[in-house]
Amino acid sequence: MPHRPTVSITEFTVSDRGAGPYGIAAGPDGALWFTMVHRGRIGRITPGGSVTSYQLESASGGPSVIAAGPDGALWFTEFRSHRIGRITTAGEFVSFPLPTPEAGPFGIVSGPDDALWFTEAGAGRIGRITTDGDVTEFPLPVANAFPSAIAAGPDDRLWFTMNQANAIGAVGIDGTVSVHPLPTPAGAPVGITAGADGALWFVEIGAGLIGRITPDGKITEFALPDPASRPHAIAAGADGDCWFTEWGANRIGRITPDGRIDEHDLPRPSSEPHGIVQGPDGAIWTALEIGSIARLAVV
């Protein structure tokens, strides 16, 4: 029998469809924080569904991925304005320009060195920014790699997907980069997360696969039932499994450490699920570009 737990899904409307909720992160204040990529806003939702949002200086900056920082604030990438933003839980924000033109920052995560690490999809670099705003950039050894999501690994390295190079990369805090090509052509990896099993788990949007890579570079891939499901983002849950969004299939999936997969349809068609995270209440929360945030709880 397939592994299929019972999941309860609740949706909260947080904006109109045009705002485009995209990235989502658990904040230090017990709330979920999310980006509205098309309106230049940062939103906050409590587990009970109370919503607040804050307008950034630029409505067209393209806030994309958001992460909790080591300083008690939320940090986010501004893909179109090529900046890194910071917002406090009180809604005060500042942003820092990147030194490389057309950097296109996308993924961001808190690193083991109390700095934020991010990808520069447009420039093919990995960036590091301190909580004071000092930026260092590390070029990748592969041209036109389009680095996308990034996660802190169990080995004090930062692991990231290389969407156009069809590879997974890792960078040490000294800037040393290693590259691990994927076995499946045109996998186009996007989301990545650190799993409870000591490996990194990632999604291959181009091939409909979920991948697992160990710190020593061993890669295993698991096929989704629908190869056209276009998995986009992935997050580790407290149960040891990883949860992922299926943008093309309008579903949320779950994969166990041994590769068993179950999937759950979202209530409304064409929801466009993107970012996903475990919330402070133990549920899984995901941003839907239709203007909602969905909460998934195993019951």
pLDDT in tens, 221-260: 999 999 899 999 999 998 899 999 999 999 999 999 999 9
* CA 228 vs CA 166, 231, 247, 260: distances in Å: 17, 9, 9, 18
Share of the chain above pLDDT 90, in %: 96
**Distance between CA atoms of residues 63 and 265, nearest Å:** 27
HSE-up (13 A, CA, CB side) for residue 227: 6
**Distance between CA atoms of residues 114 and 234, nearest Å:** 23
The residue whose two tokens read 């209530």 is 267
Question: How do the domains of the chain map onto residue ranges?
Answer: 7-298
Q: What is 7-298's CATH number?
A: 2.130.10.10
Q: Supply 189's token pair.
A: 């990896």
Asked whether the beta carbons of 174 and 215 are under 8 A apart, the reply is: no
User: Is this prediction's pTM over 0.85?
Assistant: yes
Widest CA span in the chain: 54
Q: What is the tens place of the pLDDT at every residue in 63-79?
A: 999 999 999 999 999 99
- Is residue 198 predicted with pLDDT exceeding 90? yes
Residue among 38, 82, 232, 274 flagged as catalytic: 274
**Distance between CA atoms of residues 182 and 280, nearest Å:** 33
In sequence order, the 6+-apart residues with CB closer than 8 A to the CB of 24 are 32, 33, 34, 35, 66, 275, 276, 277, 285, 286, 287, 293
**How many residues belong to the chain?**
299
SS3 content of the chain, % helix, strand, coil (to 5): 0, 50, 50
pLDDT of residue 238: 87
Mean of all residue pLDDT scores within the chain: 96
Active site residue 38: no
Q: What is the tens place of the pLDDT at every residue in 273-298?
A: 999 999 999 999 999 999 999 999 98
Sign of the four-CA dihedral 279, 216, 3, 288: positive
Average pLDDT over residues 162-169: 98
pLDDT of residue 1: 39
pLDDT of residue 232: 98
Indicate the residue type of 180. Answer: H
- Phi, psi values for residue 17, rounded to 5°: -60, -35
Residues facing residue 41 across a β-bridge: 36, 55
Sign of the four-CA dihedral 291, 211, 158, 83: negative
- Phi, psi values for residue 224, rounded to 5°: -80, 155
